[in-house]
Amino acid sequence: MAMQVFKYQDITRKPNPMRILNPLAKASNEVVDLLDRIETLERTNAWKKLIKQWQEQGKMLDPDLLPKVARMGLGKLDIANDIQRQLDAGHCAKTIANPTRFMEQLVQALNCVVTSDGKWLSIDGQHTATVIASLIRAGLVKGVNADNWRDFEVNVLYVETDDLAFARKAFGILNGKGKKQQSAYSNLRTSVYVVRIDKNTDDEEDVAIERKVAIAEKYDCYPVEINSSLNKHPGTFTNVGIFKARSDEVIEESCKWHNTYFHQDSIHVSLFFMFDELAKNKAKLTDKFLRELAGLIQNIFVDLDGYAEAVKEAFRKFTKKQYGEEMNWRDDAYIVGLLQLYKELGGTERVPQLLLDTYSDLHLYFADEIVEYAKAA
Amino acid sequence: MTNYYFYIVQNLRGRLGFGIAKDYVERNKQYSAHSGDLIAFPLLYAGPEMKCKALERQFKKYTIDDIWLVDEWRTEWWNDYVTLDNVKEMVTDAIERKRLLEVKLFTTDYNFEQGYL
């Protein structure tokens, strides 16, 4: 009787619209002028409210206060230790000056404040400045004598002020606080486009990311941006960081399983965590086992979203009972709860004992209606 | 097996919304008390809790573009153009797509004055 709970019922497969809509499959190569973006912004309620706030506060942008541009010899640059971070030598050596990545065209302008006594204080770009000066001193800059690093001119954006509080805040903004960061998806898209559109395979990381995306796409699984209108479509997922950190084999197995049994759903991140744990614990993924797991989820929880919600609640109750307080969620509990339930309900395929022993008896903390339903199924 | 409920709610102007409840009478009373009038559940479905929750998730995900927004707040009401016929079709489709076959239409045009059915 209980074995019925493992019986997966096939679901009619419908064409996945993501095959046409997937932005990673083709770049539009479309270029629009700035007015397109301006009009998009002006149509939003958030922007209309913002304009009203400026008007109510009598605030006006003063062009004279915008940063100015100059060429400055590196020798003039001072670093305020209590504004800038300590120099990160690893960042200089492994990232900025990495010989396989370094491109002169991508060197950024330095940001400084210029005080009334003529000091140029760096508020952003100390690593860039240090790398250039050090490359000169190493004799690695064309046409520049190693002793002349102080005279070598770089582009600087500067603001004239004696207000060091301004400099401190500016450093925070230029280094992330208040600045829109690139999303994980946006970084992934860049890697994929570099390989697919530009046919550039110089960067191993870009190549590895494109390969992972291609494996997922083979099984109708697609990374999309958080809050994208695409994430309602089957096979889409937004946890790009988790995806990128998985091995090719884990992506292959997990996406294949999703596309075989839950092809009508978008992907819950638990999929990647569960297959990762199965791989780490050298579980034997027989067809019978994989189908029974799908059946168990389908019959009791409907889908991975339903399972994830239920196991998180079980974990909360389990930790409270075991340790006297609720512990933060741990991602390995996704597979532990499922395998314990599988065995409790009579599953016969071999599963790694270590996973069954982790969070021992977690399965007893699933909600009563789940246990009743499972046993009646 | 304790039943759980998935309901379609309609406000006095005709806007449709959705939700889940363990106690449909209490939930209908809450809507009515907030609105100051009898509020109808034009469609009330019953089934196991996990299946009703899955049905609600389907609606949240697949009708996301049709959700009525109060500023940036996503409500559990749809825009005016969503009709009861649209909703019936979506429920039927979701039940089939997700194999939620134990979820059945329990009653229509319900309000709390009818008590527990």
Helices (H) and strands (E) in chain B, counts: 3, 6
Q: Which residues of B touch A303 (CB under 8 A)?
A: 54, 57, 98
**Greatest mean pLDDT range, A92-106, A113-127, A319-333, A358-372:** A319-333
| HSE-up of residue B22 (Cα within 13 Å, Cβ side) | 4
A100 found inside a domain: yes
Same domain, A248 and A340: yes
For residue A167, the model assigns a pLDDT of 74
Same structural domain, A76 and A41: no
Same domain membership, residue A232 and residue A107: no
Asked if the Cβ–Cβ distance from B1 to A309 is below 8 Å, we say no
Number of residues written out for chain B: 117
Q: Classify residue A171: in a domain, yes or no.
A: no
Are residues A142 and A241 located together in one domain of the fold?
A: no
Residue of A248, A288, A306 whose CA lies nearest to A272? A248
Query: Do both A207 and A354 map to the same domain?
Result: yes
- Under the banding of pLDDT at 50, 70 and 90, the label for residue A178 is low
**Is A107 contained in some domain?**
yes
Q: Which domain holds residue A331?
A: 186-376
Question: A142 with A191, same domain?
Answer: no
A52-66 pLDDT, tens per residue? Answer: 999 999 999 999 888
- pLDDT attached to residue A177: 59
Q: Which residues of A touch B (CB under 8 A)?
A: 9, 11-12, 45, 229, 232, 264, 266, 298, 300-303, 305-306, 309-310, 367, 369-370, 372-373, 376
End residue of a domain, out of A162, A177, A198:
A162
For residues A224 and A98, membership in a common domain is answered with no
Task: Evaluate whether residue A1 is within a structural domain.
Answer: no
Same domain, yes or no: A280 and A372:
yes
CB contact under 8 A, B57 and A369: no
Q: Which chain B residues are closer than 8 Å to A376 by Cβ? A: 1
The whole-angstrom separation of Cα B50 and Cα B99 is 12
Asked if residue A153 belongs to a domain, the reply is: yes
- The A153-160 sheet, strands edge to edge: A68-73, A153-160, A110-114, A120-124, A77-79
Mean pLDDT value across residues A164-187: 74
Q: Is A277 exposed, middle or buried (0-12, 13-18, 19+ CB in 10 A)?
A: buried
Q: Is A113 exposed, middle or buried (0-12, 13-18, 19+ CB in 10 A)?
A: buried
pLDDT higher than 50, residue A320: yes
Top-confidence residue, A165 or B38: B38
**What pLDDT sits at residue A76?**
93
| Number of structural domains chain A divides into | 3
Write down which residue in A96, A130, A162 finishes a domain. A162
Q: What is the mean pLDDT of residues A106-114?
A: 90
Helices marked H in A161-203: 164-174, 184-196
Contact A264 B97 (CB under 8 A): yes
Contact B50 A305 (CB under 8 A): no
Is residue B52's pLDDT more than 50? yes
Contact A121, A72 (CB under 8 A): no
Confidence of residue A1 (pLDDT cuts 50, 70, 90): very low
Is residue A227 domain-shared with residue A331, that is, in the same domain? Answer: yes
- Tens digit of pLDDT for each residue in A18-41? 988 898 987 767 788 999 999 999
CA distance A120 to chain B (A): 44
Distance of CA B25 to the CA centre of its chain: 13
**pLDDT at position A183 over 90:** no
Q: Which pLDDT score is estimated for A133?
A: 96
For residue A179, is it within any domain? no
Q: Provide the b/e sequence for B75-114 (b: ≥16 CB within 10 Å).
A: eebbeeebeeeebeebbeebbebbbbeebeebbeebebee
The predicted pLDDT at position B61 comes to 85
pLDDT at residue A328 above 70? yes
Q: Which residues, other chains included, contact A247 with Cβ-Cβ below 8 Å and sequence gap of 6+?
A: A276, A279
CA nearest neighbour of A337 among A321, A320, A323, A351: A351
Same domain for A191 and A304? yes
pLDDT digits (tens, 9 = 90+) for A211-268: 999 999 999 999 999 988 898 899 999 999 999 999 999 999 999 999 999 999 999 9
Is there a domain that residue A8 lies in?
A: no
For residues A226 and A130, state if they share a domain: no
Q: Is residue A172 part of a domain?
A: no
Judgement on whether residues A269 and A357 belong to the same structural domain of the protein? yes
The confidence score (pLDDT) of residue B8 equals: 97
The rounded distance, in Å, linking the Cα atoms of A125 and A118 is 19
Residues A139-153: tens digit of each pLDDT: 999 999 999 999 999
| A268-308 per-position pLDDT tens digit | 999 999 999 999 999 999 999 999 999 999 999 999 999 99
